[in-house]
């Protein structure tokens, strides 16, 4: 019977033996393989350079190279093709790398399970958010976490939605703030808040108004929008398509702040989420839309199999508050 020890250092040693016994299925007489070797394989596959992979693994290049060569000899196959200029996996190497990454992921999950069982609110927690939300949510959230979970080791990631979904599925992050809906059966979600859009214009623009306007008032006008890959762009395009609004074709911004500055410079108009609007801002006017106003609904997503539910519950409370 395999049991998780109270010491995480001891747990890691046991986990290595246990996972390899289950997933590799080889006895000690046939081959010697451990988690360290799998980490070497994974690092080389990601970095494509033995020297840099050795640095990432905190060992010398001869040590790493020698261990990979020994492993290849024991397996009877080449995992990597090597030249003076490049390193690339062989066909069988790609399959071995995939299995190695799966095993390393399982090891991480067991160690996280042990760590969370000892003190759920002191474990490491990796939270992601997309760029048009992260800058406006993370600062207040961090302050709230310091008060409610002072020992939590929080790691924050700002990435586009597609990248966050992939990382969440792969177990590389623990939760992500995403615009709903996200059609993934693998995830569980808590709806947090609705973020309405407002029309951002120069103060002297014909559409600048202190009273709410209908979205179709913008019919025939052109909007400055974000570049491809931003979910806010897709949401804005959906509003445009339903109301006869066009996109400015010769410019696409990389961030909301770029859009804000372009509007202030008199280069056009755009949609701005309320969460990104500053009080008493100069050089720009925000006009509200009549109900139902264009908006995005933000949710917190995590894997259904996550062992970090206590932290997630507290995060939901902080984000809703």
Q: Which sequence spans correspond to the domains of the chain?
A: 8-118, 123-321
pLDDT in tens, 89-121: 999 999 999 999 988 888 887 877 777 677 778
Look up residue 68 and give its DSSP letter.
H
Least confident of 11-15, 50-54, 230-234: 11-15
Q: Which fold has domain 8-118?
A: Arc Repressor Mutant, subunit A (1.10.10)
pLDDT score of 26? 46
Tokens standing for residue 296: 């995005």
Nearest by Cα to 179 from 227, 231, 257? 231
Cα dihedral 236, 239, 242, 248 sign: negative
Q: Cα separation of 120 and 137, whole Å?
A: 23
pLDDT in tens, 232-289: 888 888 888 888 888 887 888 889 999 999 999 999 999 999 999 998 899 999 999 9
CATH class of the 123-321 domain in this structure: alpha beta
């Amino acid at each position: 019977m395999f049991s998780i020890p109270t010491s995480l250092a001891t747990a890691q040693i046991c986990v290595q033996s246990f996972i390899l016994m289950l997933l590799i299925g080889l006895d000690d007489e046939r081959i010697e393989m451990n988690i360290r070797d799998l980490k070497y394989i994974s690092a080389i596959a990601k970095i494509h350079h033995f020297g840099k992979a050795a640095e990432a693994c905190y060992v010398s290049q001869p040590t790493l190279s020698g261990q990979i060569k020994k492993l290849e000899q024991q397996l009877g196959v080449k995992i990597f093709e090597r030249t003076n200029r490049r390193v690339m996996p062989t066909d069988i190497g790609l399959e071995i790398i995939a299995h190695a990454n799966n095993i390393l992921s399982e090891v991480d999950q067991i160690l996280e399970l042990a760590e969370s069982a000892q003190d759920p609110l002191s474990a490491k927690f990796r939270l992601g958010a997309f760029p048009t939300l992260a800058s406006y949510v993370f600062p207040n959230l961090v302050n709230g976490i310091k008060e409610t979970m002072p020992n939590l080791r929080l790691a924050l990631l700002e990435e586009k939605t597609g990248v966050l979904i992939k990382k969440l599925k792969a177990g590389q992050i623990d939760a992500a703030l995403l615009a709903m809906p996200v059609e993934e059966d693998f995830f569980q979600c808590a709806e947090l808040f609705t973020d309405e859009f407002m029309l951002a214009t120069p103060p002297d623009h014909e559409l600048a108004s202190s009273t709410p306007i209908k979205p179709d008032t913008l019919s025939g006008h052109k909007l400055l929008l974000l570049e491809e890959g931003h979910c806010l762009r897709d949401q804005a395009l959906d509003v445009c398509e339903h109301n006869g609004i066009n996109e400015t074709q010769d410019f696409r911004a990389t961030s909301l702040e770029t859009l804000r500055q372009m509007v202030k410079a008199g280069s056009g108009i755009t949609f701005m989420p309320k969460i990104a609007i500053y009080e008493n801002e100069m050089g720009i006017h925000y006009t509200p839309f009549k109900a139902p106003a264009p908006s995005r609904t933000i949710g917190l997503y995590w894997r259904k199999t996550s062992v970090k539910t206590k932290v997630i519950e507290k995060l939901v409370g902080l984000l809703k508050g």
